[in-house]
Amino acid sequence: MDFYSTFEEQFNHNHSLYKLSLVIRWHVFDDAFSKHYSATHGKPAKPIRRRLPY
């Protein structure tokens, strides 16, 4: 890792949570939760991956 590494390069690619994040179908969660967010009121919704507390 150097000063100009990307955010993705900073992760341990052998870590079990990193590997799990690659196989989760995130679009399924985004589609399921999208009905609870408005496209016209308030701030835009963030992707589900950014809302999870890990």
Residue 6: Cβ within 10 Å count: 8
Average pLDDT over residues 26-46: 83
Look at residue 33 and tell me whether its pLDDT is greater than 70: yes
* pTM score, whole prediction: 0.59
Q: Which residue has the tokens 């969660």?
A: 29
Domain boundaries, the chain: 24-54
Look at residue 54 and tell me whether its pLDDT is greater than 60: no
